Amino acid sequence: MNPRGNADVETRIETFQIGSFVSAGDGKDAITVSGVEKTFGWRGRAFKALDGLSLGVPQGCVYGLLGPNGAGKSTLLRIIAGLVRPDRGSVSIFGENACRESRRRLGMLIEAPAFYPFLTAREHLEMFARMSETITMVEPILRRVGIGYAADKKVSAFSLGMKQRLGIGCALVARPDALVLDEPTNGLDPDGILEIRSLIVELAQRDGITVLLSSHLLDEVERICDRVAILRNGRMSAQGRVDDLLDSQARFWLNVDFPQVVLERLASQADAGDGGVYVRIGRDDAPELIRMLANANIRIFEAKWIKPDLESVFLSETRREIQ
Ligand SMILES: Nc1ncnc2c1ncn2[C@@H]1O[C@H](COP(=O)(O)OP(=O)(O)OP(=O)(O)O)[C@@H](O)[C@H]1O
């Protein structure tokens, strides 16, 4: 029985789906950004926030946008949301040019959500439903974002985490196929962060909603995102599947009886580290290296690929000299 004691509503809550269940991995992008440029200010004070940025957010995935302060993440999300007009380039949403109509398929939480303190959570969702000309039951959404118990509480009594949940609830009112979230866990305590994270994963996995989010929390992105883009100075620094990005920077580590001999033989290809030797080689070359060392009577106790975490990849991408 739901908090209002209505069993009929309860039944519908259990079967409620938010997105229209666009299947993941059918090769199409939910959001495509092509060659987007945006300059703020003019003449001597002009600043290029986005410089020919392109990316594709595949349907059904959780896509993380990373980058240092000022990299252009929010500007990109605001352009996708239609709040800022790009100088050049284009955005398409589920294959259609971004416009009022195609943006109806997006739910957005772009700026810190501003609520009316004297309205309840339910009243906010009802207001959003009217504004988006959607007929939707707000009860299941409140339940879904985990504030069903506070449906009739005024927002002035809400914690930051509850407001963030309500913000996501408002973004879900029009039953979007994709969500665009600017730093959705910003300012939350560790419990709140975990709750919002699992909500995002659930919305993607259970409801088939594509999620594009920006975050400064690298471990968060590593945990919940399938794909990432690392922005730097308004340009793409690296992008791809999280696993592939980590894999591409994996290092081969050997524990051998004579590390000094290996270091001398491999010269600029190898460094000492962690009680062994790190070797810069491609995966395909590893068997040949092991054979060569064995032929040289070097005993190998352990050989393994060590993947970096996303933080190391992020730091190496954002500190790399621009070519
Ligand atoms: N309305 C604006 N007017 C002038 N400059 C702006 C405006 N919006 C953004 N910028 C500038 O564009 C650059 C990119 O800003 P943006 O907010 O997109 O970066 P971000 O990656 O989201 O940064 P953060 O991680 O700090 O939120 C920054 O240098 C910012 O000062």
Q: Residue 251 is encoded by which pair of tokens?
A: 């290092």
Between the CA of 288 and the centroid of ligand 1 the distance, in Å, is: 49
> Structural domain boundaries of the chain?
7-245, 251-306
- Residue 233 pLDDT > 80, yes or no? yes
Predicted confidence (pLDDT) per residue in 252-300, tens digit: 999 999 899 899 988 888 899 989 999 988 888 999 999 999 999 999 9
What pLDDT, on a 0 to 100 scale, did the predictor assign at position 9?
33
Contact 313, 251 (CB under 8 A): no
Q: What pLDDT, on a 0 to 100 scale, did the predictor assign at position 54?
A: 96
On the CB side of 171, how many CA atoms lie within 13 Å of its CA? 30
Ligand 1 site residues, Cβ closer than 6 angstroms = 40-41, 47, 49, 67, 69-75
In the chain, count H helices and then E strands: 11, 14
Tell which residue, 66, 34, 55, 18, has the closest CA to residue 178: 18
Convert the pLDDT of each residue in 108-163 to its tens digit. Answer: 998 777 899 999 999 999 998 888 877 778 888 999 888 999 999 999 999 888 89
Q: So what's the pLDDT on residue 31?
A: 97
- Confidence band (pLDDT; 50, 70, 90) for 6? very low
Q: Mean per-residue pLDDT for 89-101? A: 94
User: Atom 16 of ligand 1 has which residue's CA nearest to it?
Assistant: 72
Work out which ligand 1 atom sits closest to the CA atom of 78. 18
Residue appearing with tokens 């659930």: 202
Residues with Cβ within 8 Å of 97's Cβ and at least 6 positions away in sequence, in order, are 90, 91
Q: What is the DSSP string of 229-240?
A: EEEETTEEEEEE
Partnered with residue 55 across adjacent β-strands are 33
pLDDT of 213:
95
Q: How far is the CA of 67 from the centre of ligand 1 (A)?
A: 12
Tell which one of 38, 66, 69 to mutate to probe ligand 1, the residue whose CB is within 8 A of the most ligand atoms. Answer: 69
Look at strands 62-66 and 227-232 and give their pairing: parallel
Measured by CA distance, the residue closest to atom 6 of ligand 1 is 40
CA–CA gap between residue 91 and residue 55 (Å, rounded): 10
* Rounded Cα distance, 309 and 66, in Å: 14
Relative to the CA of 77, which ligand 1 atom is closest? 18
Q: From ligand 1's centre to the CA of 245, what distance in Å?
A: 26
Superfamily of structural domain 7-245: P-loop containing nucleotide triphosphate hydrolases (3.40.50.300)
Token couple for 18: 């938010």
What is the model's pLDDT at position 252? 92
* Helix segments in the chain, DSSP class H: 7-15, 73-81, 121-131, 138-144, 160-172, 190-207, 218-224, 242-248, 259-266, 286-295, 310-319
Q: What percent of the chain has pLDDT over 70?
A: 90
317: CA distance to ligand 1 center in Å? 20
Burial of 302 (0-12, 13-18, 19+ CB in 10 A): exposed
Check pLDDT > 70 for residue 25. no
